[in-house]
Structure 1
């Protein structure tokens, strides 16, 4: 089984181990940088534990990487068709399905996900790094987005762009899944 075909927790564990090795970080240093306990980091690296989405974002922030770079190998060459149906996975404990349609590529400065919020799902997100902008486009169902302390309803076909370096959140209070595209743009790194 190739790295790209491994279960999500194996991809995450492999990618996390590689990032630590590239930086020469011990588990202690990685725990200090990410705010994720040393024990949890070890479990994730060994594929013994599936983190929450909040933990996944802490890891991404601590390593100064995109979320997609933790769960998915780079998309590679242009002109290759990527199917959400084949890519869709549940990489965390959360009731959210994630299809990394275009994992982060520094050449373009963004990552694009298809996200599915299962009925009853709610998550409030910590602010991302300064300058991160999210673009949310609802493609199926209805959902709500938390911005500036208020939940805003979004219907199928509606889209919004917002500064993600502030608290924000996503929820689906309906009885059917809500599916949306989320394009996350990162500022250029010096």
Structure 2
């Protein structure tokens, strides 16, 4: 399917799901109703900045507007997960399932080396963070409260507040993390 048709379909679906008029979307994005109408009809090739404005207006990720089809079943193997590192390389995160137009959460695997930590100032988007420790032990500091989690433990917290992942132990920690974005 042509990318403009994909964006068109996703924009239509988002507007239906949120009951948002072209006028309201125009106000939220700063784009004219005529431009939005052309995009929704698939008669326009929107720029990256235009797609970002639309995504932000709906509170979805950029890629949510570009996803070509809904998947009814999906298997992800660990070797398919691309891990990114923080500056010192001791914290790695791999996105297993990204958010999209049909999924209001993201699922990650976090790997934290022994005697290391990773600080997150908080997410800009309203979110809840859910953790499940698969292997090892970690400490999570949410604002000023510290929680110790061992293999099999879970917790959740407000993802918009400052939080710190710590591994003061001698073993690598592996944690599944889900960021849930609610029905925004």
TM norm. shorter chain > 0.5: yes
Q: 1:76 to 1:130 in 2, by over 3 A?
A: closer
What CA deviation, in whole Å up to 9, does each residue of 1:120-172 have, x standing for no partner?
22122112135310001000000010113122110000000111111111011
Contact 1:84 1:99 in 2 (8 A): no
Structure 1 residue 143 corresponds to structure 2 residue 138: yes
Structure 2 residue matching 1:23: 3-state secondary structure: helix
Unaligned runs of 5+ in 2: 1-46
C-alpha RMSD of the superposition: 3.2
Q: Please give the residue correspondences for 1:8-157 in structure 2 after superposition, counting only pairs within 5 Å.
A: 21-23=47-49, 77-93=71-87, 94-129=89-124, 131-157=126-152
What CA deviation, in whole Å up to 9, does each residue of 1:18-39 have, x standing for no partner?
xxx51169xxxxxxxxxxxxxx
Q: TM-score, normalised by structure 1?
A: 0.58
From 152, 174, 178, the counterpart of 1:179: 174
Distance 1:165 1:65 in 2: 16
Contact 2:91 2:118 in 1 (8 A): no
Q: TM-score, normalised by structure 2?
A: 0.60
Unaligned runs of 5+ in 1: 1-20, 26-60
What CA deviation, in whole Å up to 9, does each residue of 1:91-148 have, x standing for no partner?
4434222221101123120000011111122122112135310001000000010113
Give the number of aligned pairs: 131
Distance 1:95 1:84 in 2: 19
Q: 1:99 to 1:76 in 2, by over 3 A?
A: farther
Q: 1:24 to 1:91 in 2, by over 3 A?
A: farther
